[in-house]
Each structure stands twice: as structure tokens, then as C-alpha cells.
């Protein structure tokens, strides 16, 4: 069964039918994944306007590296949405916040080609992927924040000169292949024979206790 198992077709998989699977196939019938789009550095990322007629799969979302922390202090909730416009700054926007990067859902609003003297080229020697993408982007980001940890409001960011490497496709929760209705689950087991006898030092009392926990 393990060798012969294949995913269910979208016509018979009622968890991922219609909306989620629409436009998820490439020319050869394979599903379009976030990983494939992230590796395709030759293809320009579609703008919001282009996606109205040529959308990406519904199962994907676009996120951008963007540090939306700033020094502005809010003593009260703004009556209008604050708007911040600035160019992308790799040192700020791609810096780590503890163990994670600053990332947010974003919309790609514009795309334009790099200038010949563009110093923000992704293909620097420090970039392990040697990216040669020829476009830069304008993205918009909405961020929800709070005043006094209770009242929420939104900030709007317009970021220019955003490189391809700062825009990532990600799969929405519960839409990857592991959530297919008939996705095959196979438990992993290791035979006792592969372990040295000296490692197998559970006493009979410990074995009984472990068995009791398993039954419980």
C-alpha cells in the first residue's frame, strides 16, 4: 500500500474540491506549490491588478519581509489609518526579531525593472542563492496594532524598491497535500534489534509504567 499510494484526484477529494484546488495545476497536471513559485526567480511576481484576471492558487498567500516596528508612540487610538511610505531596507526589514523574521501579508501593487546602477541587486556575493531577478516591487501592507494592549487599530505601509527575495509565497493553513482527505498516514517503527543491548536498560517496573501510560 505504501508503494502504490497516490493522492486522490481533486474531483473525488471533497476536502479540497473546487475553490481550494482551482488553478492549482501546472501544464503537466502537477499542483502549483509555494515552494515552486519561490524558486522561480525568472518569472515576475504578478501585481494585484494582474491577479484579478490571472490569479495565483487560492491555497497560497503572499508575505513580505517588513519591519513594521517604529519609534512613533501612540497615546491614543488614531482617528484615521496612519500611512507610512518608505523604501525597502534589507538591514532593517530582513533582520531577525529574536528567532524569527519580520514578515507580514502583503499585496504587490507595482512592478518595475531595476536600473543599471541599482545597488540593491539581489545577486551580491553574500547571497547564497545568487538571485538575478530583474524586477523591483511596490508592496502594501496592513498591520493591526494595539494601544494599551486593548484597543486595536491599523497601520498602512507602502514599501518601494522591494526585491524578489523579500517576497515569499506560503501555503494557507490546512491547504497543503498532507491535508488531503485520503492522505496516507504510516506510523514509523524501529525494530528492537538495531539497538545495542546496553541501551535497553528499562527495568520491568519502568516497562509496566510505560505500558500503563500508553493505555491511559
Q: Which three cell numbers stand for residue 195?
A: 539497538
- Integer Cα distance of 118 and 112 in angstroms: 12
Q: pTM, whole model, 2 decimals?
A: 0.67
Query: pLDDT tens digits for 126-152?
Result: 444 445 688 999 999 998 887 777 778
Task: Note whether 162 and 183 are within 8 A (CB).
Answer: no
| Residue predicted with more confidence, 20 or 177 | 177
Q: Which three cell numbers stand for residue 172?
A: 494557507
Closest CA to 66 of 38, 94, 96: 94
Q: Is 157 exposed, middle or buried (0-12, 13-18, 19+ CB in 10 A)?
A: buried
- DSSP letter for each residue of 4-43: T--PPPTTT-TTSTTTTTTT-B-TTSPBP-HHHHHH-TTS
- Per DSSP, which regions of 88-212 are E strands? 96-97, 100-101, 103-105, 107-113, 135-147, 151-163, 167-171
Burial 11-42 (b: 16+ CB within 10 A, else e): eebeebeeebbeebeeeeeebbbbeebeeebe
The pLDDT mean for the chain works out to: 76
| Residue predicted with more confidence, 150 or 80 | 80
Helices (H) and strands (E) in the chain — how many of each? Answer: 4, 9
DSSP state of 194: G
Q: How many CB atoms lie within 10 A of CB 106?
A: 24
Query: pLDDT tens digits for 46-60?
Result: 999 999 998 888 778
pLDDT at 36 over 90: no
Q: Which three cell numbers stand for residue 139?
A: 508592496
Amino acid at each position: 500500500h505504501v508503494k502504490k499510494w497516490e493522492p486522490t484526484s481533486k474531483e473525488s477529494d471533497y476536502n479540497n474540491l473546487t475553490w481550494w484546488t482551482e488553478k492549482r495545476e501546472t501544464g503537466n497536471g502537477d499542483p502549483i506549490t509555494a515552494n515552486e513559485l519561490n524558486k522561480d526567480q525568472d518569472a515576475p511576481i504578478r501585481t494585484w491588478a494582474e491577479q484579478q484576471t490571472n490569479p495565483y492558487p487560492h491555497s497560497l498567500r503572499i508575505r513580505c519581509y517588513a519591519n513594521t516596528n517604529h519609534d512613533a508612540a501612540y497615546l491614543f487610538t488614531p482617528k484615521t489609518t496612519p500611512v507610512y511610505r518608505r523604501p525597502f531596507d534589507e538591514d532593517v526589514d530582513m533582520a531577525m526579531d529574536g528567532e524569527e523574521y519580520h514578515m507580514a501579508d502583503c499585496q504587490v501593487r507595482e512592478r518595475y525593472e531595476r536600473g543599471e546602477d541599482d545597488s540593491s541587486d539581489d545577486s551580491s556575493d553574500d547571497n547564497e542563492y545568487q538571485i538575478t531577478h530583474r524586477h523591483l516591487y511596490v508592496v502594501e501592507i496592513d498591520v493591526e496594532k494595539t494601544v494599551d494592549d486593548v484597543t486595536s487599530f491599523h497601520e498602512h505601509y507602502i514599501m518601494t524598491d522591494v526585491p524578489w527575495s523579500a517576497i515569499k509565497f506560503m501555503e494557507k493553513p490546512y491547504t497543503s497535500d498532507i491535508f488531503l482527505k485520503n492522505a496516507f498516514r504510516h506510523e514509523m517503527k524501529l525494530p528492537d534489534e538495531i539497538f545495542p543491548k546496553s541501551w535497553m536498560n528499562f527495568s520491568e517496573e519502568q516497562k509496566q509504567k510505560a505500558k500503563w501510560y500508553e493505555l491511559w
